[in-house]
Amino acid sequence: MSENHEGNEWTVLVSRSDEIEVGEFCPRQPYLEAVVPELATSVRRLVLTTVSHDQGFSNSEQSNGGTYNDSHSGFEVAIVTPSYHERRPSKMFQYNVHALFEKCEHENVWDVASGDLTTRKWLADIQAGDIIQVIPRADFMLWVNYVYSATIQVEGEKRAALDMAATEPQNISSKPKFYNELDPLKRQVRILSLHVGQPDDPVACDVTTISLGDSVHDEQYEALSYCWGEASRKDTIRVRATWSELSTFQDFPVNSSLYEALVHLRPASGPGRRLWVNAICINQACDDERSQQVPQMASIYNLAKRVIIWLGALDATRRACLNKIVSIQEHLQQEYDASRTYTRAEMKGLEFRAVNAEISVNDLMGFANIWRECDFDWFKRTWVLQEVANARTAIVCSGSIAVTWPAFSAFARRMLDAKRGSPLIRYGVMPTVFFKFASFIDSHEDKAADPDEEILDFLLKAHSLKASDPRDKIFALLQFGHETSNVASLPPEIRPDYQKPVQRVFSDFVRWWILEHKSLRILSAVHTLQGRSWQQMYYGQPPDLKAIPYPIWCLWHGGEANWAKATLGLAPDAPYTASGSSTPDLALISSNAVSRPGVLRVRGHHLGTIAQIAPFPFWKWGNDLPRELFHAFVRIFNPTANMRVWLHDRDNQEIQRLDDQQESDFYDRHFTYHYSRGFQRESPAIPCYSDCLFTTNDGDGITDGFATDFATGHPGLCPHNALPGDVVVMLYGGSVLYLLRPVEGEDANAENEDKRPREFHFVGECFLHGYMHGEGLEDAREKGIRSEIFNLI
């Protein structure tokens, strides 16, 4: 990568010329990435150059060959934040020439000066530190994208280094002047009284204090659910406290997304509107107040007479989509009979008819693509799960259009069914975790029943959502775990506390979970994090574990929900018992919780050290590989793609069940994508998967890229960021085995245990053939081998 700076301008140029082929089952990996400089203030020009072709044939080549019509391979471009959340929806920028087996070079130039409105908006959203990705695609059976090279050139303007501090966004309520002290014993909260006004009038409101549970006030206010938006975009409202006769209006800065909502929601005449709005009703500059108010959020939304879901302002695309949902709502209201009870099947049939009356089956794919262009940020936010889950009734608003949450949910469910039925419908209306709260009948009892799953499993389902404060990736979701649902009574280790630094919040939670469940299952959650997944899903070298700014044994806030399915030990029903019936040494784990919270002390046994790592010999998948080893590979890398773990459809939790013949056919098809007309390679492994087959230093080694003697050696599987020299250990309370990396300068293979390292970087889980069902523990006990203490840092 080259990066040039001249005056107030900058240019980044990145190229790659590796030959790869991509089929429908291959992971959605970026071929190339470019990072926007930290000093950048804008992007004004983006040039994307690709050299590629398709498989050279198709069923419709007579009519479409040599054109771009009906082509199902090409490239998309994505913008992701430094935490690898999508900044804007990815978009296809180039298709291959249909049924042409010849290299073609394409150059796409996007410029703010000459591009259309959509392109200019897309470029304008790119921020400093963002990552621009070029991703090869092939979306249909037997279609292949043969990629030869690609280049990203991005240009823009920058600020002077000395100006950075002055331009840092300030907290929207960094200097509040009108907050009174709330009494937690009385469950006090603040409520806004939004004044009437015309569109061009300043927004004004009064703030008063009420007690939750007081029948005088219950259901006398509405609660707003919205996306905070960019902190740097500000507007000003006028706020007056009602508890003092001397109180006068004061200017108060709010994010533009909230200002927009208040302008649309205030009445033009008559009485004002009583609202609870978190950014104003909670003093965001006071960590003590935030810690006291957050456990009451469920009650705040539950006691409101209605929750208003604000999706943002309207444009032409959003208006067209939401008007369709208004029509669907009218169909539902005409057919729905409130006097009768519907079965699930009857309710689904009613919804199906209402949606199909407005959007035909043939139009579903096109409508799904249009919906994605709407890019409603509300569905990417963590807090909204709690807000809609506790609502007695909810209404979805955008501009002047409003639809009920049940009607919106019916539309979303129909689109999800359509997506599951067609590989060409790539995205749904909302992440599937929202469907837990998508009920047609507005029944609070149905939605807020006692949680039926552990908090860890729910955190993972919501893992892909964003939060302005990373701590809210835990605090906002505690009510959804059956062991954490009573937030006010939780122990101090995991109770919402905004005085704790982010690292401490996550390390305390992981330690508490281990102690509560007497299990190390949560350690496998590191493989849901960007840069730590089993399969490499980024371009470039793995991150240096020493440089990661948090305890690397921790669950963290930047991850993918779908990757939780691609682990050995994260599922509650994982088939392994590597440490037998042992449990963690709880006293050891607790021993340094206060003195060194960033270190996790665990007990176990050293089993071996990785000697070599090679591609997985997929061509040996019959009787040549240990059956359990092969099944572990399939569980993680999913070469049939039926679990859709590594594909573009990252939030589809629906698993396609395959019989033995289908599974065999899918294996063959994936292999064929790479080798029927693919680039020449020395070893017939599937090249789209990371090297993962290792042998330990006491095995027979690897010859020609493959383990040669599985009977006497010790083959295993490791994640993409593993290295030779990493230590395989069995830890008490772990259902799987783990990989640790000794700190530099220490010898993990020292014969004298006293000279072995005591501090390790946690790489993740691993599979070692012959040691996944307690064999290591039994062997240690038979030989009288003492357990060791491993300090994970």
Q: List domains and CATH numbers for the chain.
A: 2-167 (2.60.120), 184-304 (no CATH), 316-447 (no CATH), 487-622+686-793 (no CATH)
pLDDT digits (tens, 9 = 90+) for 282-298: 999 899 999 999 999 99
Tokens representing 480?
A: 């959804």
Instruction: Identify the residue with better confidence: 420 or 190.
Output: 190
Residue ranges of alpha helices (H) inside 518-616 are 586-590
Q: Is the pLDDT of residue 440 over 70?
A: no
- Reply yes or no on whether the pLDDT at 462 is more than 70: yes
Burial class (CB in 10 A: 0-12, 13-18, 19+), 522: buried
CA distance 209 to 232: 29
- What confidence score (pLDDT) does residue 484 get? 96
Is the pLDDT at 455 greater than 80? The verdict is yes
Query: Per-residue pLDDT tens for 83-133?
Result: 778 888 888 999 999 999 999 999 999 999 876 787 888 898 899 999 999
pLDDT in tens, 357-404: 888 877 877 888 888 888 888 998 999 999 999 998 999 999 999 998
Least confident among 340-349, 424-433, 486-495: 424-433
Q: What is residue 423's predicted lDDT score, i.e. its pLDDT?
A: 62
Looking at residue 499, its pLDDT comes to 95
Q: Checking DSSP bridges between strand 394-398 and strand 306-310, what pairing results, if any?
A: parallel
Determine the pLDDT at residue 362.
Answer: 78
The answer to whether the pTM exceeds 0.85 is yes
Task: Find which of 443-447, 575-579, 671-675 is predicted with most confidence, using mean pLDDT.
Answer: 575-579
Secondary structure of 360-376 in the HEC alphabet? Answer: CHHHHHHHHHHHHHHCC
Concatenate the DSSP letters of all residues of 602-663 into one string: EEEEEEEEEEEEE---GGGTTTTS-HHHHHHHHHHH-TT-TT-SSSS-TT--------HHHH
**What confidence category does residue 10 fall into, taking pLDDT thresholds of 50, 70 and 90?**
very high
Residue 17 has pLDDT above 90, yes or no: yes
682 vs 659, higher pLDDT: 659
Structure confidence at residue 231 (pLDDT): 62
Q: Which residue has the higher pLDDT, 793 or 699?
A: 793
pLDDT tens for each residue of 719-769: 999 999 999 999 999 999 999 999 875 555 555 555 555 899 999 999 999
Per the DSSP assignment, residues forming a β-bridge with 614 are: 693
Q: Which residue has the higher pLDDT, 634 or 115?
A: 634
Look at residue 450 in the predicted model and tell me its pLDDT: 64
Side chain identity at residue 374, one-letter code: C
The average pLDDT across 457-484 equals 94
Lookup: tokens for 664:
């065999």
Q: What is the b/e burial string over 744-763, where b = at least 16 CB atoms within 10 angstroms of the residue's CB?
A: eeeebeeeeeeebbeebbbb
What share of the chain has pLDDT > 70, as a percent? 87
What is the predicted pLDDT for the residue at 216? 63
Residue 660 pLDDT grade (very low, low, confident, very high; cuts 50, 70, 90) = confident
pLDDT of 230 reads 65
Q: Quickly state the pLDDT bin for 173 (edges 50, 70, 90).
A: very low
